[in-house]
Amino acid sequence: MTIEIIRHGKDAESGECSTIRRIIKGIDERFDVYFDHDKERYVITQHAPGGLVATYASFVWPTREFFDNMRRDIYISRNGNLLREIVQHNADLEDYHAKKTEENIDLVTREAAPAMLRAFKDV
């Protein structure tokens, strides 16, 4: 006979919570983590003034990119204007896509020009 332990609810000491907690506390002391056994996901919460607790993120397993983005978000929220960052990012994307469109038009024109000249020359 084997006994299977089934856990339910939230557990702040389960899995890799202590490792994740060390990383996120290094980013901001207001963060904490627990493992939600019902959803099988880690949940990071942020404790705000007045005792308010907000869910920051929920994930199966965090990646380096997740923690890098978390650091960036906290830096921007403390030191920068978040709206300005979003507007600048969108402007950069528009510039990138405009440049790519121009490059594609130029490439198609260069490839099609000789054939078009030959076609009109015969007319």
Structural domain spans, the chain: 1-80, 81-123
pTM over the 0.75 mark: no
Mean pLDDT over 51-66 rounds to: 81
Q: What does the H/E/C string look like for 3-58?
A: CCCCCCCEECCCCCHHHHHHHHHHHCCCEEEEEECCCCEEEEEEECHHHCEEEEEE
Share of the chain above pLDDT 90, in %: 12
User: What letter represents residue 80's amino acid?
Assistant: G
Ranked by mean pLDDT, which of 35-44, 78-87, 101-110 comes out on top?
101-110
CA–CA distance, 20 with 11 (Å, rounded to integer): 13
